[in-house]
Structure 1
Amino acid sequence: MLPKCGRKTSPRGGCANSLLVLVGLAAILSVSHAYIRVCYYTNWSQFRPSKGRFLPENIDPFVCTHILFAFGVANATSNNITAIEWNDPALYSRMMDLKIQNPNLKVLMAIGGWNARSTHFTQIVANDASMTQFNNNALAFLRQHKFDGLDIDWEYPTTRGGSPRDRRRFTVWLQSLRQLFEQEAIESKQPRLLLMAAVVGAIAPALAYYQIPQIVQ
């Protein structure tokens, strides 16, 4: 489990720690026995005062194997990933420059976070049509900005404005994204986009929110 900072009451404010585990690392480890260190870069850290300000250029590209850009919006209105800060697209590009120094570094887009609640996620997974449209748009977004994959920070299915159906629909969503990423990699002859999810680390809520055996597959 990894400590994670979630975006709280202010879009440029502090954040609280909660324990989450990244599902999807098992898939990575199944093809590589290398050590995995996953880190989050928060797009509001640029607004901290004085020495607290942190930019992509301040990142040591060799400390982490995977960096997750936090956060983008899972937008159910447009069925696409949209930016939060006005300069997010510029930050994406500056994050990708880190891979010039370390070609093995993977940079993923993280969508959601604590402030996102469940509302947009629930709408996206409500039916196959909206889910498929979002998946296709998200894939185009990831390739356009040269991300290596997608991290879904839905905190948490079935809760905070969600629906009881979300538990099953979240599994279906992950399955459909994985299938799309695999097919697109074959057609484009590019490396397959990675898929991760930040989930609650406590076993009791985890059993209520997720179909764990199916997700692990």
Structure 2
Amino acid sequence: MVTLHKSLGDFKRVCYVRPEPELPVHRAISDKLCTHLIIGFAIIENNVIRVDTKTGSFISYCKALLNVTKTTGANDVQLMLSIGGGNNDQGFHPMSSTPTNRRQFAISALEIMLKYGLHGLDLDWEFPAWGNTYYEDKQNFYLVLKELREIFTTFTVQTSRPPLVITVALAAQYTIIERSYNVPELIKYVDFINLMAYDYYVYHWYWPFIDHNSPLFGRRRTQHLFIFGTLNTDWSANYYNRLGVPKDRIIIGIPTYGRSYQLMFPWYPRPGSLALASNQDMSFTEVCRFLKTPGTTVEWDQESGVPYAYRDNQWLTFESRESAAQKVEWIIRNGFGGSMTFSLNADDYRNECYDNSQPFAIQSAIKEISLKMLS
């Protein structure tokens, strides 16, 4: 397993990205906004990884950019591939169910790493044993990781090549953590975890509340109310640490997207109020347009460490440059391993929000504050 040093110089800026024609990924690479660029998402078919043409071409393009910048000594970004994603996890259960299938998957993973010249693999299974009767998936998940580690390590030893990285994207919600993961086992086989510290509040008819998508802290009035007190980044990160994950191997997720709600009571636009519906996720660029529309009120939740906005019956939870910077400060001061951004696609890559020449407003803020604190 790759040893992750605890020095501040090893602060990771992990970025998820999907193939998109207009995305200036060359800027993210050349400016080293990210230390790890995770391309999503490949899928599992018949126990092996399948990379479609669009994703394969994007991987090759990113790899070529890395090779160009590396000749100048200006870049050491690690390029990785993610398997699964929120809507692509159907193949995990059959693949993980038998030793033969797990080994077939691990061999295909190594083949993909070599084919595209990748530095590592990320597994984003949402979520083992959750919402179904396959209770064994909780254990099978770490057995998949064990098989991957054995295959990757054997290859490394035989070829004397640098170790291949293995990471996992893990949920932040207590109920999913308990149902889906055997944390002490899976951490034996991965280099670090990408903590999906967002989607804490998602509208359902039985959960008709507005609240922050990615609060850094809980509010005092809710911190002792069982499940409500767990719905924040600080709680989730420290819970994983209590389960046995070293802090420097916990990478804290920061979303670039916002989420809008329709208020039941427009005259009470405070977190915890009732909602009629959740409208849609919004990119940071769309968030900026909402904020600039006349009649919009923007407020800062001092307790939670994040902003929110409202206009008429519309309510918006979002991440800003300021809240992202505050999270990075908290990450560094508390000894966690770095930040994970989901995703570059939802960031302001067209540079419409601010009067500067730097695209990816949130990711650039993450880089700026981390370098400032670590220099």
CA deviation digits over 1:42-61, x for unaligned, max 9? 12x33xxxxxx315334344
Q: Which amino acid aligns with 1:169?
A: N
CA deviation digits over 1:34-92, x for unaligned, max 9? 1111001112x33xxxxxx31533434411000000111122x2x221123x3322211
Give percent identity, aligned residues only: 22
What is the SS of the residue equivalent to 1:204? helix
What is the SS of the residue equivalent to 1:158? coil
Rounded Cα–Cα distance in structure 1 between residues aligned with 2:77 and 2:93? 32
**One of 56, 59, 66 as aligned partner of 1:92:** 59
Matches within 5 A, 1:110-129: 110-117=82-89, 119-129=90-100
Rounded Cα–Cα distance in structure 2 between residues aligned with 1:38 and 1:110? 12
**One of 51, 57, 63 as aligned partner of 1:83:** 51
Segments of 5+ residues of structure 2 without an aligned counterpart are 189-375
Give the TM-score normalised by the residue count of structure 2.
0.45
Q: Which amino acid aligns with 2:183?
A: I
Q: Which amino acid aligns with 1:93?
A: S
Q: Verify: 1:42 aligned to 2:14, yes or no.
A: no
Rounded Cα–Cα distance in structure 1 between residues aligned with 2:108 and 2:137? 21
**Offset of residue 211 of structure 1:** 0.4
CA deviation digits over 1:131-179, x for unaligned, max 9? 1011111111111110101000100001255711100000111111112
Q: Verify: 1:56 aligned to 2:28, yes or no.
A: no
Q: Is the 8 A contact 1:174 1:215 kept in 2?
A: yes
1:138 aligned partner: 109
Rounded Cα–Cα distance in structure 1 between residues aligned with 2:54 and 2:140? 33
Q: Is the 8 A contact 1:56 1:94 kept in 2?
A: no
Pick closer, same or farther for the CA change 1:130–1:179 going to 2, 3 Å: same
Segments of 5+ residues of structure 1 without an aligned counterpart are 1-26, 47-52
1:206 aligned partner: 177
Rounded Cα–Cα distance in structure 1 between residues aligned with 2:153 and 2:92? 22
Matches within 5 A, 1:187-202: 187-202=158-173
What is the SS of the residue equivalent to 2:76? coil
Tell me how large the CA RMSD over aligned residues is: 1.9
Pick closer, same or farther for the CA change 1:192–1:134 going to 2, 3 Å: same
What is the SS of the residue equivalent to 2:44? strand
What is the SS of the residue equivalent to 1:196? strand
How many pairs were matched up? 180
Rounded Cα–Cα distance in structure 1 between residues aligned with 2:28 and 2:131? 33
